[in-house]
Amino acid sequence: MGISFFWSRAFLLDRRFLWLLFMVNLIGTIYGYIWYGHQLQVTAATKPGWMLPFVPDSPTASLFFTLALLYLLFPPGRLSKLASASRLVIEALAVVCSVKYGVWAVVMIFAGQAQGDVLNWQHYMLVASHLGMAAEALLYVRFMKARLGALAVATSWLFLNDTVDYTYGVYPYLPNELEDDIVTVKWFTIGLSAASFLCGAMALSFRKRS
């Protein structure tokens, strides 16, 4: 059994592995919302309520992927047009959000370290989990129904999220060392939204060829 087996259809769609992946993502999503708890409280106390959904970026990304896994675990039969469109958008959000925030978190952690932040075991746990987010999204996109149009809709959400984050200051907490680089972080984040769309589009292209 070669290493390629571990990204084969037989392995990735094995129900035992899908359930394991579902539980890992569900637990990670819950942990992520807890991790954002303080920022959510501060935002609720100082900002309009409509900004709250824009605060917890990574756990919302893993929530979308967790929902996408349910479609693989329980393949739906004939769906209405609305339900079918909802599935396409959820899967597209699972892909672009997971790629974006998986990469974003890792870059911010090491950018902070480069400017003097001291990393601990939690940082490395976050690095591993966020790289896993990006990797699983790109591995599973070939089993999803999402198309280019749905990816474009999902990427519009990313750009809206970026606009709210850096206009109203509800972006995720950064290492203290990066607070004076917020303009650079902003443009990197916006560029990463576009790059996530391109990664998703390339993955869809690969799906068609295979």
The predicted structure's pLDDT at residue 3:
73
- CB-based contacts of 133: which residues, under 8 Å, 6+ apart? 58, 61, 62, 65, 98, 99, 101, 102
| Token output for 190 | 């916006």
Contact 138, 99 (CB under 8 A): yes
Q: What is the mean predicted confidence (pLDDT) over 40-59?
A: 97
Residues of the chain by 3-state class (helix, strand, coil), percent to 5: 85, 0, 15
Give residue 63's domain range: 3-209
The predicted structure's pLDDT at residue 149:
95
User: Rounded to whole angstroms, how far apart are CA atoms 198 and 151?
Assistant: 9
- Mean pLDDT of the chain, nearest integer: 93
Q: What is the mean predicted confidence (pLDDT) over 4-30?
A: 90
210 pLDDT more than 80: no
Q: What is the mean predicted confidence (pLDDT) over 28-41?
A: 96
| Token output for 164 | 């709210």
104 pLDDT more than 60: yes
When mean pLDDT is compared across 5-19, 105-119, 130-144, the lowest value belongs to 5-19
pLDDT grade for 9, boundaries at 50, 70 and 90 = confident
197 pLDDT more than 80: yes
Single out the residue of 129, 135, 136 nearest to residue 109, CA to CA: 129
The predicted structure's pLDDT at residue 2:
65
pLDDT grade for 133, boundaries at 50, 70 and 90 = very high
Report the number of distinct structural domains present in the chain: 1
